[in-house]
Structure 1
Amino acid sequence: MQKTEGMINRMKHHHRLDITVNEDCKIEVPPDILEQLLKPHKLSFYYFVFLDQGSETYKIDLQDITISGSQLIFGVPNQVFCNPAGNHHHPNYKIGFDESTLALLPNPFPFLLDPLNTNTITFDADAKVRVKSIFSNLFQLLHMKGRQPKTEIILAHLNTLLTEFNSAYFEQSDQAAAANPKLNKYIAFKLAVETHLTDQHDVHTIAQKLGMTTSTLYGIVKEFSGVSPKEWMTNRLMLEAQRKLQYSGFSVKELAYELGFNDPDYFSRLFKKSTGKSISAFLAEHHD
């Protein structure tokens, strides 16, 4: 499994911000980095691909995801991502930036928590025009000859771009985060779990922190994910286990302790129950 720590710094197109923007692969990527990007790799940064035309298939956390023209696919830190193989690619824009760059923006972007369980965004005709324009402006700004634009100009364009992404993400499912208190609670639940992923959360404690009863939290999580809060947390831990098995050399015991389990045997049984495969079978199937 390829690791990407420090990659965005090597690819960045601004002297102060760790951000990279490419248009139809016009800017060459260093060969060693390109080799990593064409293999499954654990993301250490936010990564977006907007496809203008055609169709391409990516892989995120072992799942094949196909996008076509007017769609965008995105990956976030810690996800295992793989770009399409082959030399021919359809017209596209790509952007990547790290957590420190995101922290400089004035607005939160709930879609990055993927509350609707999809890593794709579909744009209508008008939004597509706007998104392409912002991408084009960012690309030209970052690759203009001479003195680079000020940091705040790049951040302003990035903030506008992510605002378009956030709006289209929720509109594609008729769910507007700002107008849906339940969705906001679900996002808060996901954030609470992600913030301390290996703490073996207690559902009652999380419900209290979010100002809800356990039954109310159950209903909200069930509505948006199809599973109970406990099942959601277990599935999230098992997903993290699958990611770590791909890019780390942990033993089963080490991995169990890393994820907050005191009993490695129980962890192994839970993994098989959740994934349908034993850890040894999973490793054999996905050995890099």
Structure 2
Amino acid sequence: MKPTAPPVLALKSFPPSAGPRPYYVAGLAEHLARFPHVREPHAHDFYLLIYVTEGAGLHTIDQVTYELRPGSLFFLAPGQVHHWQLPPEVQGYVVFFSAEFYLFRYPGPRLYEYPFFDGIRPPVLYLPPAETGLLGLLQRLHAETRAEQPQQVEVVRAYLLLLLELAARHVAAPATGAAALAQQQIRQFGVLLNQHYRQQRTVQQYAEHLHLTAGHLNAVCRRVLNKTASALIHERVVVEAQRLLAHSALSVAQVADELGFDDPSYFGRYFRKYAGRTPEAYRQQHR
């Protein structure tokens, strides 16, 4: 029988060889050799970055499979389920950190505003070969953490800030005016959606949170992401349903209850409408 849910790994599950730290940095090949179980589906209670320098494979995040190749930079937020298929020659870097580690020095909403953590945009950047700034930072961060150094925690935190800020520049050119406002509204919508998708599934509810009309929120989403707000809400609900169906032993009725559906039959119709098959058929395909 399947476990109730995929394991959720804590930061302390990955002790660095130099001793406990409030972060984890390692070469990708070294990481996979020390912790081979990470090839199986699992989630984390922390944030992580994965940068690939050599090798090619597949990386599945929340049931969506992405190409993994040199120059790939993946971003995962707490709770996302992922697994990968990697060749023996894969090389790169992994960086793990908790929200508390970042927020201790950089408080405020910035961590939740990064576009690659909003649950709406793809969680990967495919960087061109000419882009060496982020790779250089990762190499120096990796070297910094090989042994204890004075003020190392602050140095690592500063490197992390630089990595996230410079990576965010690759998502899109900084917007100004109305475009900047639209992107801010999209980020806020993404945060709200991750908080409330189990209880709130109408555009009007999210629009009220944002002090917008439902029509305006739909228009902003369509302009920035080429999807309606309604489509994004349904996608978020279906992704969570797929996680539970694929990685847990919960019955369909229990999955429905977990996602806030009072009627399992309605959940079945909802899932079939937006996923293209019944919950039972989806589970059978992903056993």
Identity of aligned residues (%): 20
Query: Is 1:95–2:99 an aligned residue pair?
Result: no
- For residues 138-287 of structure 1, the aligned pairs below 5 Å read 138-144=141-147, 146=148, 149-171=151-173, 176=175, 180-287=180-287
Q: 1-side partners of 2:260 and 2:219: how far apart?
A: 26
Q: Match for residue 81 of structure 2?
A: 80
In 2: Cα distance, 1:68 partner to 1:163 partner:
22
Q: Which moved more, 1:96-105 or 1:73-82?
A: 96-105
Q: Shift of residue 261 of structure 1?
A: 1.0
Aligned to 1:42: 43
21, 25, 32: which one pairs with 2:29? 25
Structure 1 residue runs of 4 or more that deviate by more than 6 Å after TM superposition: none
Could you state the TM-score of these two structures normalised by the residue count of structure 2? Answer: 0.85
Deviation at 1:277, TM superposition (A): 1.7
The CA deviation at 1:117 is 2.3
245 and 202 in structure 1: CA distance in 2 versus 1, 3 angstrom threshold:
same
The 1:224–1:203 alpha-carbon spacing in structure 2 relative to 1, beyond 3 Å, is same
Kindly indicate whether residue 59 of structure 2 is the aligned counterpart of residue 58 of structure 1: yes
Residue segments in structure 2 that go unaligned for 5+ positions in a row: none
Partners of 1:113 and 1:187 within 8 A in 2: no
Give the equivalent residue in structure 1 for 2:126.
122
Deviations 1:113-165 (A, max 9, x none): 34762222133566x32212211221122112x55643222111111111111
SS at match of 2:172: helix
Amino acid in structure 2 at the alignment position of 1:47? L
Question: How many residues are aligned here?
Answer: 277
AA aligned to 1:44 is D
- Structure 2 distance, partners of 1:102, 1:251, is 38
SS at match of 2:227: coil
Contact 2:134 2:163 in 1 (8 A): yes
Instruction: Return the letter of the residue paired with 1:169.
Output: V
Contact 2:245 2:252 survives alignment (8 Å): no
1:137: which partner in 2?
Answer: 140
Q: Please report the TM-score for the alignment, with normalisation by the length of structure 1.
A: 0.84
The Cα of 1:241 is off from its aligned counterpart by 0.7
Contact 1:207 1:217 in 2 (8 A): yes
Question: Alignment partner of 1:199: what SS?
Answer: coil
* Larger mean Cα displacement after TM superposition, 59-68 or 188-197: 59-68
Query: Which structure 2 residues correspond to residues 4-23 of structure 1 after superposition, within 5 A?
Result: 4-6=8-10, 8-13=11-16, 17-23=21-27
Deviations 1:233-257 (A, max 9, x none): 1221111111122232222222111
1:214 and 1:194 mapped to 2: Cα distance? 18
Distance 1:87 1:61 in 2: 24
Deviation at 1:220, TM superposition (A): 0.8
Worse overlay, 271-280 or 52-61: 52-61
Q: Deviations over 1:1-47 (max 9, x none)?
A: 641332x21214376644221225246754xx312x11222333322
Matching residue's letter, 1:111:
P
1:65-90 Cα distance to aligned partner (Å, 9 max, x none): 1143333122222222112244221x
Query: For the Cα contact (< 8 Å) 2:56–2:86, is it kept in 1?
Result: no
Shift in Å, 1:169 = 2.1
Does the CA contact (< 8 Å) of 2:47 and 2:75 recur in 1?
Answer: yes
CA distance in 2, matches of 1:10, 1:43: 10
Secondary structure of 1:118's partner? coil
Q: Which deviates the most, 217-226 or 18-27?
A: 18-27
